[in-house]
């Protein structure tokens, strides 16, 4: 675990101490009346000190959920853990964060999971699959349908504990210097794109996909090296200055409709935490995810207005293009599932969720997030067969059943319990 060189306690104020007591009583124990056992929460002799670095520089405001999460943990787990928050680039970078957390060079860091898909293609499913998963889908799948547990099986292979803490509103789409509405309009364009399958889909439509780090996107557009770039939600794109170097935005943001990021924790650092702190960290991740979604949803309207007022024109892809993107998305997803059992486990669990939701979602339109489509059930059946061939289908379904049963049971952690998952008492 990396030693920190600061003597102050981050977030340790009179207000935070009072808030910690209130939240521990009212939120964590589910009642304003604390019995004797609940009141006997053992405090360590000194808090565990951890280093957290956000993946993002100050101009890329995806750091907001990271700071919210750290402040919330420091408040609710006061005297148990003391997390020092550092700006992006202090010790690591967005693309090096995985290696540095895995090695223990830093204890905790935020991530963009698709950056790690070169290690394991299953990481591409943990955040923002093209077309099929909305923010609401990700929140429900992660916390109610086994997604959190299955994702941690993948991270755990690398000595990392992972907490999804940020889901933003759907990303804005490509900001370009030429209008794009048809498939033909993509021909020959050089576009910044994150995500292996997103890039392959662009290339299937005739564009050249170029991965460009966030800090280099503005300059590449300004010099004409790129014809357009996607990066994030409207507030983030605005603060990166993309309104100064592009004229159009291409909607909808099919490439990342449910952008999820998380907090990676070095497994050895995580193992040093007491059970109450582990519980508080998990609860803070869930609370931060709700905050991040509502924050970025609210600001999406505000900053879209700013882009329009600056002169940016909104264009929309033809329905035929979106149909083709969906077809390509499912082709790539099935191909990766055949090649990788980890990918198959996550993919079949996601489609199990989608099929479960289909009838409810269909008759509640237009009041639902997400949608259904004709090939969904067929893709689900193919994924079941693939997962069975890999020998991972039954264990995947058992993980889903266990997550659903624990959530229905609502047996919360209490002092003296070993904490593993929520809600659960082992």
- pLDDT surpassing 90 at residue 276: yes
pLDDT digits (tens, 9 = 90+) for 135-171: 999 999 999 999 999 999 999 999 999 999 999 999 9
Tokens of 254: 């099919």
What percent of the chain clears pLDDT 90, i.e. is strictly above it? 84
pLDDT digits (tens, 9 = 90+) for 205-245: 999 999 998 889 999 999 999 999 999 999 999 999 999 99
- Per-residue pLDDT band at 387 (split at 50, 70, 90): very high
Tokens of 33: 């009346």
- Spans of all domains in the chain: 14-169+258-299
pLDDT digits (tens, 9 = 90+) for 345-368: 999 999 999 999 999 999 999 998
pLDDT digits (tens, 9 = 90+) for 85-123: 999 999 999 999 999 999 999 999 999 999 999 999 999
CATH architecture of 14-169+258-299: 3-Layer(aba) Sandwich (3.40)
Pick the more confident residue, 371 or 266.
266
Nearest of 90, 124, 59 to residue 342 by alpha carbon: 124
pLDDT at residue 103 in the model? 98
- pLDDT surpassing 80 at residue 426: no
**Residue 32 Cα to chain centre, angstroms:** 32
């Amino acid at each position: 675990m990396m030693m920190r060189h600061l003597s102050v306690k981050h977030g340790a104020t009179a207000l935070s101490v009072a808030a910690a007591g209130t939240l521990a009583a009212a939120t964590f124990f589910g009642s304003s009346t604390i019995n004797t056992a609940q009141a006997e929460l053992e405090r360590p002799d000194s808090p565990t000190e951890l280093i957290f670095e956000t993946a993002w520089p100050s101009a890329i405001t995806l750091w907001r959920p990271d700071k919210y999460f750290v402040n919330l943990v420091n408040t609710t787990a006061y005297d148990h853990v003391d997390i020092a928050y550092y700006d992006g680039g202090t010790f690591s970078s967005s693309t090096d964060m995985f290696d540095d957390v895995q090695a223990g060079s830093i204890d905790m860091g935020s991530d963009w999971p698709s950056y790690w898909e070169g290690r394991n293609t299953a990481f591409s499913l943990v955040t923002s699959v093209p077309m099929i998963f909305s923010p609401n889908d990700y929140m429900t799948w992660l916390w109610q349908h086994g997604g959190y547990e299955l994702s941690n099986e993948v991270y755990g292979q690398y000595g990392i504990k992972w907490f999804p803490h940020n889901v933003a509103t759907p990303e804005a789409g490509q900001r370009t210097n030429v209008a794009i509405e048809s498939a033909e309009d993509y021909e020959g364009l050089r576009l910044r794109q994150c995500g292996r399958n997103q890039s392959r889909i662009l290339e299937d439509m005739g564009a050249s996909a170029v991965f460009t780090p966030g800090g280099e996107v503005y300059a590449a557009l300004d010099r004409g090296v790129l014809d357009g770039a996607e990066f994030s939600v409207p507030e983030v794109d605005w603060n990166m200055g993309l309104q100064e170097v592009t004229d159009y935005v291409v909607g909808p943001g099919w490439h990342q409709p449910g952008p999820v990021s998380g907090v990676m924790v070095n497994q050895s650092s995580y193992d040093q935490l007491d059970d109450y702190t582990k519980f508080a960290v998990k609860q803070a991740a869930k609370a931060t995810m709700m905050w991040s979604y509502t924050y970025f949803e609210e600001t999406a309207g505000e900053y879209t207005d700013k882009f329009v007022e600056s002169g940016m024109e909104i264009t929309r892809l033809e329905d035929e293009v979106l149909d083709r993107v969906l077809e390509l998305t499912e082709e790539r997803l099935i191909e990766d599932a055949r090649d990788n059992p980890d990918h198959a486990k996550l993919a079949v669990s996601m489609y199990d969720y989608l099929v479960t939701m289909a009838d409810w979602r269909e008759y509640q339109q237009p009041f639902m997030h997400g949608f259904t489509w004709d090939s969904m059930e067929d893709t689900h059946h193919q994924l079941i067969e693939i997962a069975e061939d890999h020998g991972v289908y039954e264990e995947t379904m058992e993980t889903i059943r266990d997550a659903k049963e624990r959530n229905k049971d609502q047996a919360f952690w209490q002092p003296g319990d070993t904490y593993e998952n929520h809600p659960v008492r082992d």
